Amino acid sequence: MKFKLIKPIFNFLNNFSMRKWIIAPVLASLVMFGVSACKQNESAPATMSSAEAEKIVAEGNYEEAEVTAPPLVPAPIGDRKAKKVIIRLETIEKVGELEDGTQYTFWTFNGTVPGSFIRVRVGDEVELHLKNNENSTVSHNIDLHAVNGPGGAAEGTLVAPGKEAVVNFKVTNPGLYVYHCATAPVPEHIANGMYGLILVEPAGGLPKVDKEFYIMQGDFYTSGKKGDKGLLSFNLDKSIAENPDYVVFNGNATSLLGKNVLQAKTGETVRIYFGVGGPNLTSSFHVIGEIFDKVYIEAGTKVNEHVQTTMVPAGGAVIVEFKATVPGDYVIVDHSLSRAFNKGAIGKIKVTGDENPTVYKSKK
């Protein structure tokens, strides 16, 4: 999805060390609100006591997590200790484009498809604020697959337009997890673009790489057909039949093409955090001309090596790594290739640098 105008309003200041003096009293109120809301709902995810909340605010021992729009990811966590982090997401309904001239009313987290990339580490205490923009037409919530708790926090975050919910959860398992809206009818909310990724780094962090990118695949079911101009809407029958008009990366058929191609240099190691929002299709994720040196299988802890294509389920993710050794254009696809060449699931990584004839050369 192309996003031109809306920048998340919660990124209003950059320097948190100064900002916390402004936010602390507000935060104290929000934490107390969250505690009180959770107390009324015994099935809500883990809460903290009011004493704990006051202690954290008094000590200033918390951090506003940086979140990023695709294809960017926040800076690595590295070896920092577990701590309390605050994450702010806002559900925003907005018109964007599936491709040039083809408009669609996306439902989003923070105004992008996929939603903001969240990066935390195992052991962190997360205080998640989910606001539903006042211009929304329906309620939304969030189910984070990284959460141990009813609905992955969905029950505790269901919010009407103009309202905000706060939930607290402990990050217990490392890995890369999908989050998505889980408000009924769930397939429609997801089909409109309501998904994203949350990375939970292990203690000590992930191995260092030179480049990191964030890509999610989604299938879109419209009232028209691919390439139609104007504003299209969601089509329920096509969604039930699992027959999308568009299958795209990052919400738009050209999100990783043209001026948006990903860039790397020869010799650099590249890591891609890839997820599938769905709502229906799996992905046969492949980069033409590259071999994944490492694949974190199903985005868990186990690593496979020397993989050509990795299968990613709807509501699942994978972490892949490769080294860029030969300059050129490398095409990213769902290797169910009609989706790539006819429905939009195609992107590109451009590798620049010196030729490497010992690895590859061509002569015509």
Which residues of this protein are in contact with Cu ion, per CB under 5 A?
A: 140, 181, 183, 189, 194
Residues near 65 by Cβ (< 8 Å), separated by ≥ 6?
74, 85, 86, 87, 118, 119, 120, 126
Which CB sits closer to Cu ion, 85 or 181? 181
Write the DSSP assignment of 18-87 as a string of letters: HHHHHHHHHHHHHHHHHHHHHHT-TTSSP---HHHHHHHHHHT-EEEPP-B-TT--PPP-TTPPP-EEEE
Shortest Å, Cβ 194 to Cu ion: 5
- Confirm if 227 and 99 have CB atoms less than 8 A apart: yes
Report the nearest approach of Cu ion to the CB of residue 334 (Å).
Answer: 24
- Given the complex with Cu ion, which of 84 and 189 has the nearer CB atom? 189
Chain centroid, CA 60 distance in Å: 28
Cβ 242 vs Cβ 280: under 8 Å:
yes
Place of tokens 């990050």: 171
Q: Is the peptide bond before 74 cis (omega within 30 degrees of 0)?
A: no
Q: For residues 152 and 158, what is the distance between their CA atoms, to the nearest angstrom?
A: 12
Between 129 and 189, name the residue whose CB sits nearer to Cu ion: 189
**Residue 154 CB, nearest approach to Cu ion (Å):** 10
Q: Return the number of the residue (139 or 263) whose C-beta is nearest Cu ion.
A: 139
Shortest distance in whole angstroms from residue 138 CB to Cu ion: 7
Query: Residue 91 Cβ, how far from Cu ion at the closest point, in Å?
Result: 6
Q: How far does the chain reach from its first CA to its final CA, in angstroms?
A: 40
Q: How far apart are CA 169 and CA 126, in angstroms?
A: 5
Q: What is the 3-state secondary structure (H, E, C) of 179-194?
A: EECCCCCHHHHHHCCC
For the sheet containing 211-220, what is the strand order? 246-249, 211-220, 269-278, 316-323, 292-296, 303-307
Looking at the Cβ atoms of 53 and 158, the one nearer to Cu ion is 158
Min separation Cβ 182 and Cu ion, Å: 8
Minimum Å gap between C-beta 130 and Cu ion is 10
Closer Cβ to Cu ion, 57 or 87, answer by number: 87
Q: Output 91 or 252, the one with its CB closest to Cu ion.
A: 91
- Give the nearest residue (CB) to Cu ion: 181
